[in-house]
């Protein structure tokens, strides 16, 4: 299903961090009216705010960008993935103590700063409720934006990225059929140029050799979570395979033979050595 004029009338894009716009929404950057960026600095990453400021000054879409100037709290990977607890402020940061309360305060500040933008828009695009690859800030921005969109009867649209880390959370939203969605082509060259702007300024936070997908799909919300996944359809997904250690894996008892792999490598090296390979300790 193709939604053109209606879906982009008085539209804005709301993202958590600089570079999220080109990673998860590059196909719609030409057509949204504003790009609202929530977090500029990071309390745990000195100098990142300055690097992002330089990047945004050189950004291809700099005339459309509005940044709220917030400094992000340390939230990434602080939930119990792959089955985090959903809350009205995003996800519960209960993997380690001390992170959840600042994250809640961050949500309250976001509500205040984002309200006028959502109120005045007809369409708002933002992160999906599982945070693309599974980022707590993305989930929080999605949740706050959804609350505001419901309050002001603003149409809300979510992107289609998911990873092996976040897919269990995505399944909670796969209930029922018939949600409108549309697909847009990605300009890979333009996306790479924007990414290089971040990279030159030391503000790129994703993989250096990332290759963009051919297209992105956007589903119309509101999306609702269900305790148990049922039968349903959302949209075609762009799946990311990432290295990920779940909370369960972190707390598993140690393997009975922790040196087995090391011994195996040594045996292989010895066999190579018998055919002329020089071995070193």
The two three-digit tokens of residue 42, written as one number: 């990071």
pLDDT at 2: 45
CATH class of 5-246: alpha beta
Mean pLDDT by 10 residues, the chain (281 residues): 75 98 98 97 92 98 96 96 97 97 98 98 98 98 98 98 96 85 96 98 95 97 82 89 70 39 44 34 28
pLDDT at 7: 94
Chain position carrying tokens 């934006």: 145
DSSP string, 21-38: HHHH-GGGTTT-SEEEEE
pLDDT at 227: 76
Sketch the domain layout of the chain as residue ranges: 5-246
pLDDT at 236: 92
């Amino acid at each position: 299903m193709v939604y053109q004029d209606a879906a982009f009338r008085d539209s804005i894009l709301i993202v958590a961090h600089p570079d999220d716009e080109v990673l998860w929404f590059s196909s719609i950057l030409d057509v949204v009216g504003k790009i609202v960026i929530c977090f500029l600095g990071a309390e745990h990453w000195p100098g990142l705010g300055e690097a992002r400021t330089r990047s945004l000054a050189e950004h291809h879409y700099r005339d459309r960008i509005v940044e709220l100037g917030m400094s992000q709290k340390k939230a990434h990977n602080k939930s119990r993935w792959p089955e985090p607890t959903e809350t009205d402020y995003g996800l519960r940061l209960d993997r380690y103590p001390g992170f959840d309360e600042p994250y809640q305060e961050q949500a309250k500040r976001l509500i205040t700063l984002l309200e006028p933008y959502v109120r005045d828009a007809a369409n708002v695009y933002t992160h999906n409720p599982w945070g693309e690859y599974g980022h707590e800030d993305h989930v929080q921005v999605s949740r706050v934006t959804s609350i505001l969109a419901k309050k002001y009867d603003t149409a809300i649209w979510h992107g289609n990225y998911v990873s092996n880390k976040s897919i269990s959370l995505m399944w909670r939203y796969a209930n029922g059929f018939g949600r409108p969605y549309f697909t847009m082509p990605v300009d890979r060259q333009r996306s790479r140029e924007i990414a290089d702007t971040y990279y030159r300024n030391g503000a790129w936070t994703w993989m250096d050799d990332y290759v963009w997908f051919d297209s992105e799909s956007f589903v119309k919300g509101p999306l609702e979570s269900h305790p148990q996944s049922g039968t349903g359809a959302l949209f075609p997904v762009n799946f990311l395979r990432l290295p990920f250690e779940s909370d369960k894996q972190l707390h598993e008892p140690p393997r009975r033979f922790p040196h087995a792999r090391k011994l195996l490598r040594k045996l292989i090296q010895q066999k190579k050595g018998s055919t002329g390979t020089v071995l070193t300790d």
